[in-house]
């Protein structure tokens, strides 16, 4: 994808995370990587433009866009993730429609949620988990994208790493049913391990159960994990009674 098309692509993706119909987008280069954000980081930023949702793009099946929200609530989008905190939010595609709400409540998320609602409810019933809890994990992990791939190689709706997939019997990580069932089994294991403490189970899902044990059965002091727990629990509470 040509550089100016990639810039338009990234600017358009900001519409998925902006609570308003237009957004001030800033750009800066850090160690040779250009990053786009909705808030100027320090004084390095150069304002690019004010964008309007809805931009046609040149065809490309290879572009990957990653998203990271830092501890100050600043959203960063890039095609070259700098660390494991970046999550793949879009791959390929040629057109971004107009969205004015946040990703959590956007039309695209709602559409994807409906696509997997029946499967997630079935898995919840069979594993004794709340559907809202599974939805919160899946939305946070992959935004309901079964083809999502993290920079570290986690795959699918519930973002399974190869070792964890083998451990919980997931042979095909891109298969939605296998992925969700495996993720549910892992969550059941974590809930039992941490005596039904949801926050610890969520922290362990992100950082691993050994990390939680290492810090005395408390949420590890990792910025990514703490933000992850807050996001999942906030989504879980908001989805209760709606799913």
Secondary structure of residue 158 in the 3-state scheme: coil
For residue 188, give Cα distances in angstroms to 153, 192, 200. Answer: 23, 6, 12
Bridge partners for 51 per DSSP = 23
Alpha-carbon span 25 to 32, nearest angstrom? 19
197 CB-side CA count, 13 A:
13
Catalytic, 130? Answer: no
Token pair 């808030």 is found at: 39
Catalytic entry in 130, 141, 209, 224: 141
Within 17-72, residue ranges assigned H as helices are none
The residues annotated as belonging to the active site are 141
């Amino acid at each position: 994808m040509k550089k100016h098309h990639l810039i338009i692509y990234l600017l358009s993706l900001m519409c998925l995370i902006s609570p308003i119909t237009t957004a001030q987008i800033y750009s800066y280069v850090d160690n040779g990587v250009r990053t786009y954000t909705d808030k100027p980081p320090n004084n390095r930023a150069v304002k690019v433009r004010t964008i309007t949702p809805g931009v046609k793009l040149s065809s490309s099946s290879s572009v990957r866009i990653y998203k990271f929200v830092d501890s100050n609530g600043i959203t960063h989008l890039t095609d070259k993730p700098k660390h494991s905190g970046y999550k793949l939010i879009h791959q390929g595609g040629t057109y971004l429609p107009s969205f004015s709400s946040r990703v959590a409540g956007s039309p695209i998320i709602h559409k994807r949620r409906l696509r997997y609602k029946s499967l997630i409810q079935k898995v919840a019933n069979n594993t004794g988990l709340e559907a809202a809890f599974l939805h919160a994990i899946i939305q946070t992990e992959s935004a309901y994208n079964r083809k999502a791939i993290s920079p570290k190689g986690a795959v699918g709706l519930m973002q399974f790493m190869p070792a964890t997939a083998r451990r919980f019997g997931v042979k095909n990580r891109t298969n939605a049913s296998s992925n969700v069932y495996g993720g549910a089994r892992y969550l059941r294991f974590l809930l039992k391990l941490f005596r039904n403490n949801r926050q610890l189970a969520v922290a362990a899902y992100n950082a691993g159960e050994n990390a939680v044990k290492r810090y005395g059965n408390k949420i590890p002091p990792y910025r990514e994990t703490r933000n992850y727990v807050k996001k999942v629990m906030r989504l879980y509470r908001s989805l209760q009674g709606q799913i």
